[in-house]
Copies of this chain bind each other. A is one copy, B any other.
Amino acid sequence: MQPHQDGPLARLRRGHEDLVLDLLRKHGPLSRAELGQHSGLSRTTLSDIVTELIESGAVVATAPGTAPRRRGRPVEALTLNPSAGQAIGIDFARRAVHVSAVNVAHEVIGSASEPHDPGLPWEERITLAERLVGTLAEGALRLGALNAIGVGVVGPVEGPDAGPDAGPAQPCPSADLPALLRKRFEAPVLVDNNTRLAALAEATWGAAAGGQDVLYLRLSHGVGGGLVVAGALHRGAYGLSGEFGHIAVESGDGRCSCGATGCLETVASVGAVLAAYRRAGGHADGLAALLGALEAGDPVALRTLEVAGTHIGTVLAAVCNAIGPGVIVLGGELAAAGPPLFEPVERALRAHIMPISRDRVDLRPAALGEAGGALGGIALVLCESPLLSHYPARPG
């Protein structure tokens, strides 16, 4: 097999493979002659492409004789392998592993999740992921035909082929994560930041399904996010796109985990909001209690969320003026606060966004919850490597 190349010929070849798979998806079984007519490819090129697709397990050829005869000649029919094209997403979150899987029609066919201690060693996290994937595989999934695995990790990642980088968030101690996973699952592995992957998942299956330009903000123990730009996950020049939690807020002076001061995270994370609530005289031992106070109409809790929401909306307006997304998705545990959070966010957003853009961006709650990172891993595989399995050689 050829190594992965990015020259025009390699890109053209992948385009040809995509086209053949698209045609089989749309038309159902086709003979080689029919594929040639539809695709405009030469017999030699098509033969090469089809051979590789069959070798990779993406396409199966039904033997001559079993296909319907036409004009007396037995015709070999090519079809998508019903157990191929499957992808798995794994999210190695701070305190849990989440996995999801899709079938060849890109439908989510199963998800599983298990919490763990944040200190759990990586070897054990991978074993846990393997076990969870095993529970899915007991169903319809044929792991042998896995197209690729999309993996979310905490912290910055430069690109899908790179391992996780050292960063302000909990770094993955093993730069070999992709290699380890490739060995365990015998499939190519793409890695990205799990919050960015959640953004891609929301733009693929979630609150912004079908959105081409989506801003996702996650309000959790940290504040992060991700951007989908023109339908693709945005990474920036050095893998640090979507760090909305580290945009400075007006008169912010709190010290942030990133080393700077005044970051949005210092006023809008779950911990920061709880601390502000307590400073204002509220009593809550955790987010659930604060959410309860909000539901009960506690004015101190409402005021606390209004302050946080105003900061969030102001930062979102700045980002909207810079990049003009069509949809903003708010996720993370704090988003469960609902209108007491969303209303001040929306007010500040509308107040600070350019008036001409005011009615062009939608603010929506995230739809995918904790599964977002794992689903985003799958979305990454579907977006960026529909045929990745043809390039990196598989072991065995």
Contact = CB atoms under 8 A, between A and B. Distances in A.
Q: How large is the interface on A (under 10, 10 to 19, 20 to 34, 35 or more residues)?
A: 35 or more
B44 A248 contact: no
B324 A238 contact: yes
B321 A244 contact: yes
B314 A236 contact: no
Contacts of A180: none
A264 to B, nearest CB: 9
A248 B352 contact: yes
A328 B18 CA distance: 36
Given A237-B361, A250-B250, A355-B260, A322 B15 contact: no
Given A19-B12, A356-B167, A322 B42 contact: no
Nearest to A360: B238
B244 A322 contact: yes
Interface in A174-230: 211-213, 227, 229-230
Interface string A1-45: 000000011011101101100100000000000001001111111
A355 B128 CA distance: 34
A301 interface: no
A313 B244 CA distance: 16
A287 interface: no
Contacts of A390: none
Contacts of A258: 354-356
A212 B242 CA distance: 17
A237 B229 CA distance: 9
A229 to B, nearest CB: 5
A260 B358 CA distance: 11
B324 A322 contact: no
Given A243-B324, A315-B318, A352-B248, A212 B237 contact: yes
Nearest to A314: B248
Interface centre among A36, A48, A250 (most CB of B within 10 A): A250
A39 to B, nearest CB: 8
16 contacts: A8-B22, A9-B19, A11-B15, A12-B40, A16-B40, A36-B42, A40-B45, A41-B41, A42-B45, A236-B325, A237-B327, A237-B360, A242-B322, A243-B357, A246-B354, A260-B354
